[in-house]
Structure 1
Amino acid sequence: MSSHQKKCSPIPSSAQPYDTKEKTGKWRSFKDSFKRYEAFDEEDDEKLKNLTDIERANIRTANSPLQRKLNSRTITMIAIGSSIGNGLFVASGSALNAGSAGGLLVAYGITGSAIYCTMQALGELACEFPVSGGFNLYASRFWEPSVGFAVAYNYFIQFLVLSPLELVSCGIVMKYWNKSINADIWILIFYIIVASINLFGVRFYGETEFVFSSIKVIAVIGFIILSVILAAGGGPDGQSVGTKYWHDPPPFATGFKGVASVFVTAAFSYGGTELVGLAAAEAQNIRTTIPRAIKQVFWRILMFYMVSLTLICFLVPSNSDKLLGASSVDVTASPFVIAIENSGVKGLPHVMNAVVLISCISVASTSVYATSRTLNSLSEQGLCWKFCSYVDRAGRPIVGIIITNVFSCIAFIAASGKEGVVFDWLLSISALSSIASWLTINYCHIRFRRALKVQGRSLKDLAFTSRSGVLGSWYALLVNVLVLIAQFWIALFPTGGKPSANNFFLSYLGGVVLLLFYFGHKIWKKNWIFQIKAKDIDIDTGRRETDMEALRQELEEEKMILQSKPLYYRAYRFWC
């Protein structure tokens, strides 16, 4: 352990694990589990007072009382299923209409390659620093605190809004089967389900998300197999469309502006991929679990997005009237359903509707998870009310969960008929959140590598290194900047519409919010630095592997074992 690490990484004297097997009654154990877990006592707090804001934040988030109960299986499935939802199942239809077949695949392919590089960078950082708040804290640590403050609050708002929105979506989806029942009744049922999932703890959330993600993955694989059969003429009508819809209409019928607009939809569709970074703080075996989950992103992008969307382009014309006005919960506008209906297959819209319903529940549950962890991290950094850092003995950030669930009650406006207007503006606040987070992750990775070089540290000290390296992070950074520019352009001059202030702020209000938080933090903290010097970046506090010699020896042994394996096995382990 370095001298710097010894100085800046005190182990809280009160950080003793809570004995869940204490011999008490079940009711007493349940009641006691809600008591606060004290990770720091008064002596520890006195020590922290003598440190800088950044040093205190690094230590508190590195010693968070969140419990490590997410195993490799659940983390991997969260990585695979976190962004498989309405963005793929439904919103891809409006993207096909806006950008045509060629524009759809180009935009999703480029964005997907950038996400792959981003996830590689996140994997490297998360394996070294599995701290509370994940990538939101990295911005404060490797870039500068005001950026971290702005990105973290914008990410918090994004998922805070998504929770009630997805509950409203559940009510709308249920209308597909029964329009006579008040939507608020369905919302109440799903509200109780979503609230209960996170109250049962992180292990229960992980297992539930594993089931939800498995259903989504099976659905996508099933649609891919069916689409291949339909494209080959194996449907009830027996007709093979071949490459007809690649010529009529043309693959780039809407021009460059149409392609640019698809980048925005693609970014929305891939949103949620970065959740693995938040889950790292609660993973059981970080060094093996996180890399494996990160590598799975490649296969998800390749198969679940690119393969399924390529097949859709063979089966659905981009000028289909059914694609127009596609919303995030309108199952009839899903290109998957349209492809199957055009081929004469009956009954599948009901299956698709069930998958969309499960996706809505999954995203709502994940929103509570992400919001509560982000709020907890902000409080631990001293950037939010102190009581928001309350974590009980079962490892639940209970205050954050309660705040999110209370805010989710706004979903009950569904019966008023005004939910569309309210949520359009709520979503506009956090519309750029995922892009801002990805951009930040890539630049933080670049700064981390720079700090390692300046401080004379070796890449051999890292448990996992990004496959795409620093060049991959620069590439992903550039793509995200271009997506922001594309969204700004489309917001000013919408495709097929006239410029208006209302449309602009609906698309770009998130950028205004980011700037307000950024400059607000600078005024509040009187922080006028714009980048921490590489020599001053803390690359020790919170690192999970502290015995570097033992780590190097273990990594060398693993490499030697891997080299003795057949080529196909080595290739499999490289990608998976």
Structure 2
Amino acid sequence: MGWNYFLQWIVTIPFSLVSAAMTIEYWNKDINSAVWVSIFFVVICAINIFGVKGYGYGESMFSVIKVIAIIGFCILAVILIAGGGNQGYIGGANWHPPFVNGFKGTCNTLVNAGFSFAGTELVALAAAESPNPRRAMKKAIKQVFWRIAIFYLLTIILLCFLVRYDDPNLIGNSSSSASPFVVAISNGGIKVLPSIFNVVILLAVLSVANASVFASYKPLVALGECGYGPKFLTYVDKKGRPMISILICLAFGLIGFIGASKNQETVFIWLLSLSGLACIFIWFSISLAQVRVNYACKVQGISRDNMPFKSFGGDYGAYFCMFLNVLILLAQFYIALYPIGAEPLQVSTFFQAYLAAPIVLVMYIGHKIWTRNWSLYIKAEDMDVTTGRVVVDTELLAQEEFEAAEAWKAKPLYHRIFHTWC
């Protein structure tokens, strides 16, 4: 799964560059997309050549802009839905028909929706770079919840009120190249603001490319350290940057130049099919790993009370996550066999929808050949759950936790409520 995780994010780099070039076409379609891919590629290289520090500064800048833009859009969306635009009162008019393409239509959206959630696990990678991971992890996980609830789910719901699924101005319809955000604002009759928001969309896409480089070279270094990849991947320069792994990941961005062809939307779909379904396999493996590690700790007599963070749902949440991932994989397999608006059992449409599955299978077999270990699983008592853990004084840690709990009780009620959720 390490190589599959690397593949998921390494493919997202050219995917994001192609997406950025398509976003630019909202203003100008005459300039070759290769020009924009080149510019964005240089920007991403310049940010990530500084390693984790460059990634952190870049994401901080992108995040501030995105948060301000999303909050502003949510306020504007409520006004437009209530009749503040030139369309008058909209209400739930765009929610009809409510079940487009029936069961197939629902199945067809699941992988794309899952791809949009991909990246929430990056908090675990980034937390390791913080001065105090025990505290940083707890706070970051809470922020992920609100990021999903407000900046994703709420925004999508508001967009569904404002933009019909078959709006001719959306990307993918005829020759249009506008995101739903831009279409919603344009349909409201607001001038200039659509272009401003398209800049925000462009920065958001570049943010994905920036995060993709970070999420690619981190597992690449880990694979080298674990013996599942060449040792040169672990090289770190004097400034603490895994430069070889960073350069390898950046080199994959050159695939984005394929998007300069006239079939850039086809390239877009193929890259999405590979990365989108891969994240479903990844989240299934993460959930399975959580269950297995918890069981191994129980068998080996390791207390979970010393862990810096324990998920709210525990193993039940992990099992539920695995169940949902299996449902998505089955639904996508159904769509791959019987796609919407196409003849069933076509090779091209099947692999566009299910390309990641055979790749995962090939990687699994390759791993077995590489390690020459054909056992299906590792026994709980033999699992290594201690390597890489920071050795701490458990008594001192317990004392610190006790003091923190006492200080917490002394805080005002509003402070405790806020920091419980945020």
Pairwise TM-score range, normalised by the shorter structure: over 0.9
2:214 alignment partner, one of 351, 369, 377:
369
Name the residue aligned to 1:240: 89
Name the residue aligned to 1:307: 154
Is this contact kept in 2: 1:463–1:555, CA < 8 A? no
How far the C-alpha of 1:565 sits from its partner, in A, is 2.5
How far the C-alpha of 1:506 sits from its partner, in A, is 1.1
Is this contact kept in 2: 1:155–1:430, CA < 8 A? no
What is the alpha-carbon distance in structure 2 between the residues aligned to residue 340 and residue 540 of structure 1?
53
Say which SS state the counterpart of residue 84 (structure 2) adopts: coil
What is the alpha-carbon distance in structure 2 between the residues aligned to residue 424 and residue 310 of structure 1?
24
What is the alpha-carbon distance in structure 1 between the residues aligned to residue 7 and residue 46 of structure 2?
21
What value does the CA root-mean-square deviation take over the aligned residues? 2.3
Using structure 2 for the length normalisation, give the TM-score. Answer: 0.92
- Specify whether residues 154 and 330 from structure 1 end up closer, same or farther in structure 2 by C-alpha distance, changes over 3 A only: farther
Name the residue aligned to 2:364: 518
Is this contact kept in 2: 1:170–1:360, CA < 8 A? yes
How far the C-alpha of 1:236 sits from its partner, in A, is 4.2
- Specify whether residues 441 and 257 from structure 1 end up closer, same or farther in structure 2 by C-alpha distance, changes over 3 A only: same
Name the residue aligned to 1:54: none
Is this contact kept in 1: 2:169–2:177, CA < 8 A? no
2:373 alignment partner, one of 498, 506, 527:
527
Is this contact kept in 2: 1:331–1:337, CA < 8 A? no
Name the residue aligned to 1:439: 284
Count, aligned residues:
421
How far the C-alpha of 1:321 sits from its partner, in A, is 4.0
CA offsets 1:497-556 (integer angstroms, 9 cap, x no match): 222111111111110000011012112322122222222222222222522221122112
How far the C-alpha of 1:392 sits from its partner, in A, is 1.0
Say which SS state the counterpart of residue 171 (structure 1) adopts: helix
How far the C-alpha of 1:287 sits from its partner, in A, is 0.6
Give matches, 1:48-63, under 5 Å: none
What is the alpha-carbon distance in structure 2 between the residues aligned to residue 403 and residue 330 of structure 1?
34
Say which SS state the counterpart of residue 539 (structure 1) adopts: coil
What is the alpha-carbon distance in structure 1 between the residues aligned to residue 61 and residue 138 of structure 2?
21
How far the C-alpha of 1:271 sits from its partner, in A, is 1.5
Name the residue aligned to 1:461: 306
What is the alpha-carbon distance in structure 1 between the residues aligned to residue 117 and residue 173 of structure 2?
18
Name the residue aligned to 2:136: 289
Is this contact kept in 1: 2:170–2:176, CA < 8 A? no
Instruction: After superposing the two structures, state which structure 1 stretch, 485-494 or 164-173, moved more.
Output: 164-173
Is this contact kept in 2: 1:331–1:356, CA < 8 A? no
Q: Bigger relative contact order, structure 1 or 2, given CA contacts below 8 A and separation 6+?
A: 1
1:270 alignment partner, one of 105, 117, 126:
117
CA offsets 1:7-54 (integer angstroms, 9 cap, x no match): xxxxxxxxxxxxxxxxxxxxxxxxxxxxxxxxxxxxxxxxxxxxxxxx
How far the C-alpha of 1:228 sits from its partner, in A, is 0.8
What is the alpha-carbon distance in structure 2 between the residues aligned to residue 199 and residue 245 of structure 1?
45
1:541 alignment partner, one of 381, 384, 387:
387
Confirm or deny that 1:222 pairs with 2:72. yes
How far the C-alpha of 1:378 sits from its partner, in A, is 1.0
What is the alpha-carbon distance in structure 1 between the residues aligned to residue 298 and residue 124 of structure 2?
24
Instruction: After superposing the two structures, state which structure 1 stretch, 405-414 or 275-284, moved more.
Output: 405-414
Say which SS state the counterpart of residue 27 (structure 2) adopts: coil
Name the residue aligned to 2:413: 567
Confirm or deny that 1:255 pairs with 2:102. yes
Is this contact kept in 1: 2:259–2:268, CA < 8 A? no
Give matches, 1:470-481, under 5 Å: 470-481=315-326
1:251 maps to amino acid: P
Unaligned runs of 5+ in 2: none
Name the residue aligned to 1:346: 191
What is the alpha-carbon distance in structure 2 between the residues aligned to residue 188 and residue 317 of structure 1?
34
Say which SS state the counterpart of residue 233 (structure 1) adopts: helix
Is this contact kept in 2: 1:275–1:370, CA < 8 A? yes
What is the alpha-carbon distance in structure 2 between the residues aligned to residue 175 and residue 241 of structure 1?
29
How far the C-alpha of 1:275 sits from its partner, in A, is 1.5
1:258 maps to amino acid: G
- Specify whether residues 469 and 566 from structure 1 end up closer, same or farther in structure 2 by C-alpha distance, changes over 3 A only: farther
What is the alpha-carbon distance in structure 2 between the residues aligned to residue 357 and residue 563 of structure 1?
45
Is this contact kept in 1: 2:14–2:254, CA < 8 A? yes
1:313 maps to amino acid: C
How far the C-alpha of 1:414 sits from its partner, in A, is 4.1
1:501 maps to amino acid: V
2:105 maps to amino acid: G
Using structure 1 for the length normalisation, give the TM-score. Answer: 0.69
- Specify whether residues 470 and 307 from structure 1 end up closer, same or farther in structure 2 by C-alpha distance, changes over 3 A only: same
